[in-house]
């Protein structure tokens, strides 16, 4: 085993057949508590075992709204547990007619329209700037795409995720604006999650599961609650199957150690060593210890 796969998503993702050595682990971080305890387990596939860590993004029972998720604590907790790769699964609205409900989009770009969230581990006393030009891990994306193809799940490789603040959904004017920007899906949770994963030198992939068309669609108001719930349940089943399908490839990838995501901080620290705040340095040991 070369890594530990962390999965951030809905509460039901950890209900996998064959998952053993399981238990909930409470983790405290310098940024407070994550959304919930983290469910650890081992998935045995043939002669290979994959260690997995599941974090309910909104807490069990969906208690925490998107703007109040402690994204820094979530990523830090996974890092502290030894997670090396993060697979983010999230429900989204579709902004294109050819991405109907039930489609999975392996996201490769983001537009961040959130404004009420802490977006960095770094700050006064220790400044860092990481590149977000390519915000997801292409190696991890390859494994995800292969898993979706093997399962026969309708999917698209590549797409732009518009991250909005919420918790309210878009106005019609906003939805039309985002379509004019060539965004593909819209959601409320992948930012600053992806930014923090990059700062923590974790490989990160985002799988956006389309549940409905956003309000731009002329028949949006005709969609029933029952139809949306049906798509949600189907997406959850496919999400669990994807985790099983991709786990072995991700956690036993011999090329993972050389992935550029894992050296994202190599030239990112700007504050000179003599000017660094000792308290900030200590706080950031888990996140940036490799370069501190």
**Residues that are catalytic:** 212, 214
Query: How many residues in total does the chain contain?
Result: 292
Looking only at Cα atoms, what is the longest distance across the chain?
62
Q: How do residues 232-276 score in pLDDT, each as one tens digit?
A: 888 889 999 999 999 999 999 999 999 999 999 999 999 999 999
CATH 3.40.50.1580 fits 5-288, yes or no: yes
| CA 99 – CA 124 distance, rounded (Å) | 42
| CA 52 – CA 3 distance, rounded (Å) | 9
Tell me whether strands 160-163 and 109-112 are parallel, antiparallel or unpaired.
parallel
The pLDDT, as a whole number, for residue 288 is 97
Indicate if the pLDDT at residue 41 is higher than 90: yes
| CA 245 – CA 58 distance, rounded (Å) | 24
CB 52 within 8 A of CB 31: no
Tokens 């974090």, residue located: 55
Write down the mean pLDDT value for the chain.
94
pLDDT band at 223; cut points 50, 70, 90? low
Letter string b/e over residues 70-88, b meaning 16 or more CB atoms within 10 A of that residue's CB:
bbbbbbbbbbbbebbbbbb
């Amino acid at each position: 085993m070369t890594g530990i796969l962390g999965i951030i998503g809905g509460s039901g993702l950890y209900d996998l057949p064959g998952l053993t050595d399981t238990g909930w682990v409470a983790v405290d971080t310098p940024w407070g508590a994550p959304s919930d305890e983290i469910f650890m387990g081992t998935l045995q596939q043939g002669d290979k075992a994959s260690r997995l860590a599941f974090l309910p993004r909104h807490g069990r029972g969906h208690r925490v709204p998107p703007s109040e998720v402690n994204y820094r604590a979530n990523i830090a907790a996974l890092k502290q547990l030894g997670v090396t790769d993060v697979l983010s699964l999230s429900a989204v609205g579709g902004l294109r007619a050819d991405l109907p409900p039930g489609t999975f989009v392996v996201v490769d770009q983001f537009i961040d329209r959130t404004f009420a969230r802490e977006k960095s581990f770094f700050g006064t006393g220790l400044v860092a700037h990481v590149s977000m030009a390519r915000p997801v891990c292409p190696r991890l994306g390859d494994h995800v795409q292969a898993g979706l193809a093997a399962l026969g799940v309708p999917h698209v490789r590549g797409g732009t995720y518009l991250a909005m603040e919420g918790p309210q959904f878009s106005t019609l004017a906003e939805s039309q604006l985002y379509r004019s920007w060539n965004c593909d899906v819209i959601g409320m949770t992948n930012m600053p999650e992806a930014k923090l994963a990059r700062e923590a030198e974790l490989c990160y992939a985002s799988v956006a599961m389309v549940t409905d068309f956003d309000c731009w669609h002329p028949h949006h108001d005709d969609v029933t609650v029952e139809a949306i719930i049906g798509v949600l349940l189907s997406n959850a089943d496919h999400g669990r199957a994807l985790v099983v399908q991709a786990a072995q490839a991700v956690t036993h990838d011999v090329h993972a150690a050389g992935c550029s995501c894992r050296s994202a901080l190599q030239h990112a620290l700007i504050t000179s060593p003599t000017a660094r705040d000792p308290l900030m340095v200590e706080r950031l040991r888990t996140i940036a210890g490799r370069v501190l």
